[in-house]
Amino acid sequence: MTIAIGNMLLDHIYHQPCGLLAEIPDDSIDAIVLSPPYNLSYKPQPAKKHNINGYDTFDDHLPQDQYEADQIELLDACCRVLKPGGSVFYNHKERQAKGVAISPFRWVLKSKCELVQTIIWNRGSTHNIDPVRLYPINEFIFWLRKPGCRPRFNRACAKLTNIWEIGFEETRSIGHPAPFPVLIPLRCLKMAGVQAGDVVLDPYMGSGSTGVAAAEMGAHWIGYEISADYIRLARNRIAEAKQMRDMWKVPPAKPKMTGQDISVAGTAS
Ligand SMILES: C[S@@+](CC[C@H](N)C(=O)[O-])C[C@H]1O[C@@H](n2cnc3c(N)ncnc32)[C@H](O)[C@@H]1O
């Protein structure tokens, strides 16, 4: 059984900034699902269930130019570590600054990743209500690929539209300010044809939703996260998901046929 790629442990959350994924070898990851902090200038708040607006360890505030340059570099790094045929799913949203929209298309299209398709996630609600414009309820999930490499696609998913109606995850019940519903990474991984034993990466692990989805599918996962409290939360959620999977594992339907069974089957009737 594989327990590491390069020097990286599998099924492990690294308590450090993801940086440029320098520890991860080239062409080693089957799928990446990530939702970075959105640069919303929230004040840091202790990790508690009632905190909606703010991470516990940092203020999510960079000059916008630097934020965009950092995100482009990270997406380029995702391209590097992705196997040919793998997929990156990058979740982000449009935000407002001084009455003007800042769209993630601005930096996504500047990265080395190629955009396969844009998924609109209708999450049904947002914190950003302002009576001078329409009430925004969507986020984006950018499906990206390594340049020139056609991504695997599970054709059973071709009947899904590119508008996903998936209600947002309750911050209070999870204990993280910005968790996405597990159904988001689960759909992404299924779409990308991830199989049991494949390796999935989330550079911003947060409450561990990507790890939960990977564990439910029997895939390996690797995460980075800077908050010790969120790491504890994520580990517990992933362990629970793994336990559930183990509990519901179905034994093989039929015992293996022996040579004798085959000859009996062959001579019947
Ligand atoms: C939008 S949240 C991700 C939420 C996650 N998708 C989930 O479902 O819970 C972003 C997370 O990235 C973490 N973070 C911020 N900067 C980071 C960095 N440089 N490296 C790794 N994690 C970081 C934050 O602490 C936060 O938990």
Model confidence pLDDT, tens digit, residues 95-154? 988 899 999 999 999 999 999 999 999 999 877 778 899 999 999 999 999 999 999 999
Distance 206 CA to ligand 1 centre (A): 5
Residue 29 has pLDDT above 60, yes or no: yes
Q: Which of 204, 207, 210, 230 to mutate to test the pocket of ligand 1 (most atoms within 8 A of CB)?
A: 204
Per the CB < 8 A criterion, the answer to whether 207 and 233 are in contact is yes
Length of the chain: 269
SS3 at position 7? coil
User: What would the mean pLDDT of 220-248 be, rounded to a whole number?
Assistant: 93
CATH number of the domain to which 62 belongs:
3.40.50.150
pLDDT tens string 157-191: 999 999 999 998 877 788 888 899 999 999 999 99
CA atoms within 13 A on the CB side of 267: 5
Greatest Cα pair distance in the chain: 81
Per the CB < 8 A criterion, the answer to whether 146 and 84 are in contact is yes
Domain containing 199: what range?
4-267
Q: Which amino acid is at 36?
A: P
Mean predicted lDDT score pLDDT of the chain: 88
**What tokens appear for 131 in the block?**
């009576």
Task: Give start and end residues of each alpha helix (H) in the chain.
Answer: 64-81, 105-108, 171-174, 183-191, 209-216, 228-247, 259-267
Distance 90 CA to ligand 1 centre (A): 13
Which residues' Cβ are closer than 6 Å to ligand 1?
Answer: 17-18, 35, 37, 55, 57, 176, 178-180, 203-204, 206-207, 209, 224-227, 230
Rounded CA separation 123/167 (Å): 5
Model pTM?
0.89
Instruction: Identify the residue whose C-alpha is closest to ligand 1 atom 27.
Output: 206
Residue 7 has pLDDT above 80, yes or no: yes
Rounded CA separation 14/184 (Å): 22
**Domain count within the chain:** 1
> Residue 267 has what pLDDT?
41
Residue 50 has pLDDT above 50, yes or no: no
Q: Which of 52, 58, 187, 226 to mutate to test the pocket of ligand 1 (most atoms within 8 A of CB)?
A: 226
Rounded CA separation 49/37 (Å): 18
Chain centroid offset of residue 151 CA: 16
User: Burial of 269 by CB count in 10 Å (0-12 exposed, 13-18 middle, 19+ buried)?
Assistant: exposed
Q: Which residue bears the tokens 């959620």?
A: 237
What are the two backbone dihedrals, phi and then psi, of residue 138, each rounded to the nearest 5 degrees? -110, 155
Instruction: Identify the residue whose C-alpha is closest to ligand 1 atom 5.
Output: 206
Distance 39 CA to ligand 1 centre (A): 12
Q: Where in the chain does DSSP place strands (E)? A: 4-5, 8-9, 12-14, 29-34, 82-92, 95-97, 100-102, 114-122, 138-145, 163-165, 199-202, 220-224
Distance 40 CA to ligand 1 centre (A): 13
